[in-house]
Chains A and B, each alone.
Chain A
Amino acid sequence: MRDQGAINGLVKIRVARLRLAVRGLKSGWTLFASSKIGLLGLGIILSFALLAVAHPILMATVWDATTYDPVTGYAFDQVEQPAPPSWRHLLGTDPLGRDVLSQLMSSTASEFFLGITAALVTVTIATSIGAISAYYGGVVDALFMRLADIIIMLPTISLLIVLTALFGLNLFQLALVLGLLGGFGGTTVVLKSQALTIKVKPYIEAARVAGGSQFHIIFVHIVPNLLPLSLLYMMFTVTAAIFSEAVLSFFGILNIRMSWGIMINTASTGGYLLGGTKFWWLIVPAGASITLLCSAFYLVGRALDEVVNPRLRRQWDS
């Protein structure tokens, strides 16, 4: 049992911490917002998110499933497939008579799902392992770092190609594999070196002297300080995940029904990839979306980098 005063004190500390965090976020945002590149990236991401959210709404209201379902729909209103853009099909239809815009929008959601799942898995693993490795060192550290060595040197796409041959991956499994590869690979190494610099900070020593448990120190003191950097690496993971999915789907080796990669695969197996400008709506929307969303996360990552890593800021600013 604690007396009221102590609880009040605790609350005050929490509130103060929160305020500090908010202020940190605010100043972080100011820094971030000063980067045009970062804002551009964020803008692109938000517009794609809007597309993803709009799809189920459109399907429930204006678009009937027979015509607009991204996988089994068929544009009966068009005589010849693939049909060029029209008012009913703003981005035309694919060689199998499906609405390209609907495919593009429904895929956006899966790309976000894929990217974010992979990124969350990566960051959760990498942050925990980075902190643990840095804190304990020794055998634990050596083990994880050797593992990271292997994973870094593995060409991801090649590994994924082999994995799909052996197991036949679907979207969630792909996200998981990518997350694991990122989590146990390069990101861990970076986060661990960051954690090492935190480990030697006085407040960690203070916490230890005050009798904080190891778990407490790692997850309450070290991990939160790693989070900004983790966030940065989340962005890069998202880029990598979306890109990998597109390439694997392009080669037609994933067990996925619709994605931007599948859209290009459909165009490619139909032989429309080199049609020049004649069948642009089969390639450009999906291709540009991959590039745009990947670049957007990448640009946001770069802008975050400047927030997280003060040494990269313009010399003259500070």
Chain B
Amino acid sequence: MTAYLIRRVGQILVTLFLFTTLAFFLIQAQPGSYASFYAFNPDIPPEVKAKIEAAFGLDKPLWQQYLIHLKNYGTGNFGVSFRHYPQSVVDVILERLPRTVMLFLTATVVSFYCGFFLGKAIAWKRGGVLEYTATISGALLFTVFTPWFGLMMIWIFAFKLGWFPLGKFLDPLLWRDATVEANAVFTNMILTAAAVSVFLFIAVLVTRKFARRYQGRTLIPLLGVVALGVTLVWWSSGAGYLALDIVRHMVLPVATLTLISFAGTMLITRNSMLETLREDYIMAARAKGLPEKEVRDRHAARNALLPVVTSFVFSLAFAIDGGVIIEAIFSWPGMGRTLLDAVLSEDLPLAIGAFVFVGVFALAAHLVADVLYVYLDPRIRYQ
């Protein structure tokens, strides 16, 4: 197990190295150079341009530039953003990261759950109305033109019905006298979510050991208590209304991301369930006369979950892509919008930095999925 993890981390480090190299060659292969963006700006005198070039190492031979690049990226130095000069790329990214992480974790988890439960249901009842509806609407939503769909969601739910705010992640009138920064609230919300998940994970493991049969009945009150606890903590912190404001702004983008991405998980779950249902132990469980629900949830679904977890990684990359679009449409200034804005404003260091960051983020998630997989599958013990 440990050996497996070490090997996996090693592999991921190699991947990271290759990825950084790829980034370098992308920069080198593009037709312009960093310096040329300054060249056309009438306000910068030539001597300053020369200094900028020197600072970026652009006057050195290629192999030296490569080494500088590796060193820079290895030490987390992605250069200086053109548009936010003299802010470094990392500073810009760190400012946006919490907002993206919050949106994504929520959306990914919600869409994953929806997809999993729907997939389970349609695999169990094949040929029913549910299967056709879910498959076709899933496929349509999966392939719907996201920008337009996002705008329609805003138009219907925020503008016409007025249920939710019109994009953005907070209400300026509410925040103008707030003494905490939005990023601090975001960070705390992420920490809360992390703490709750870790706690629930442990609780599930513990209750599974002690009270296998009654797990379902234990978890529901437990969830209620956790929710109450979180509410109390936030209430007493004084930032509760701010967090609530953020949550209010999150509903619509999360719903949109969920609708466009649940189909992936749903179909993989369905296929995986169908394969599992042919296994002998399902026959055996049925033959034993266990209730259908029991067979479905306890025997089939749990084993069918494995490939679904693997696909989590794929869906993550998909979610990040969806995020580029959703963030632009919902005025949510996260990583995706940073990337797009950087590209549209020709801020290449920021564009590449944001892209590498997104890649690293995906790699980290990859690793987490690997670990989860090992935990979930008692049959697999990696060498």
Contacts and interface: CB of A to CB of B under 8 A. Distances in A.
Instruction: Report A-B touching, CB under 8 Å.
Output: yes
Contacts of B366: 149, 153
A166 B26 contact: yes
A239 interface: yes
B155 A162 contact: no
B317 A153 contact: yes
Given A149-B15, A150-B19, A298-B139, A155 B321 contact: yes
A158 B155 contact: no
Given A153-B363, A153-B366, A291 B320 contact: no
Given A155-B362, A312-B271, A253 B317 contact: no
A273 B317 CA distance: 27
Given A264-B147, A290-B145, A253 B139 contact: no
Which among A157, A163, A243 has the greatest number of chain B C-beta atoms within 10 A? Answer: A157
A307 to B, nearest CB: 14
Contact of B140 (A37, A156, A295, A315): A295
Interface string A131-170: 0000000000000001101101111111101111111000
Interface stretch (B107-115, B179-187, B247-255, B273-281): B273-281
B314 A167 contact: no
Interface of B: 11, 14-15, 18-19, 22, 26-27, 29-31, 126-127, 132, 135-136, 139-140, 142-148, 151, 155, 267, 271, 274-275, 277-278, 313-314, 317-318, 320-321, 324-325, 328, 336, 339-340, 342-344, 346, 348, 351-352, 355, 358-359, 362-363, 366
Nearest to A310: B278
B279 to A, nearest CB: 10
Interface of A: 37, 146-147, 149-150, 152-159, 161-167, 186, 239, 243, 246-247, 250-251, 253, 264, 268, 273-274, 276, 283, 287, 290-291, 294-295, 298-299, 302, 305, 309, 311-312, 314-315
A253 B145 contact: no
Contacts of A290: 143, 145
Given A163-B26, A290-B143, 4 more contacts: A161-B343, A165-B342, A295-B139, A298-B139
Given A243-B143, A299-B139, A157 B274 contact: no
A37 B151 contact: no
10 contacts: A150-B19, A155-B362, A158-B358, A165-B342, A253-B343, A274-B151, A283-B148, A287-B148, A290-B143, A314-B127
A161 B339 contact: yes
Contacts of A150: 15, 18-19, 22
A312 B318 CA distance: 25
A239 B264 CA distance: 13
Nearest to A36: B132
Secondary structure at the B interface, as helix, strand, loop or mixed, is helix
Contacts of A154: 317, 359, 362
A37 B355 CA distance: 38
A157 B325 contact: yes
A251 B340 contact: yes
B336 A158 contact: yes
A232 to B, nearest CB: 12
B108 to A, nearest CB: 13
Contacts of B146: 247
Secondary structure at the A interface, as helix, strand, loop or mixed, is helix
B140 A291 contact: yes
Contacts, number: 135
B313 A152 contact: yes
Contacts of B313: 152-153
A119 to B, nearest CB: 16
| Top 7 A-B pairs, shortest CB-CB distance | A294-B143, A166-B30, A157-B321, A165-B343, A155-B320, A153-B362, A155-B321
A311 B147 contact: no
Contact of B31 (A167, A186, A302): A167
Nearest to B19: A150
A253 B344 CA distance: 8
A188 to B, nearest CB: 14
A152 B317 contact: yes
Contacts of A314: 126-127
A264 B348 CA distance: 27
Nearest to B278: A311
A135 B296 CA distance: 38
A166 B34 CA distance: 11
A37 B127 CA distance: 11
A161 B22 contact: no
Nearest to A284: B148
Nearest to B318: A155
Given A152-B314, A264-B148, A314-B127, A162 B352 contact: yes
Given A155-B358, A312-B275, A315-B278, A239 B30 contact: no
Contacts of B359: 153-154
B78 to A, nearest CB: 13
A159 B355 contact: yes
A239 B348 contact: no
Contact of A311 (B139, B267, B275, B328): B275
B340 A146 contact: no
Contacts of A274: 151, 155
Nearest to A162: B355
Contact of A156 (B132, B321, B352): B321
B15 to A, nearest CB: 5
Given A166-B348, A295-B139, A312-B275, A250 B324 contact: no
Contact of B155 (A155, A264, A276): A276
A166 B27 contact: yes
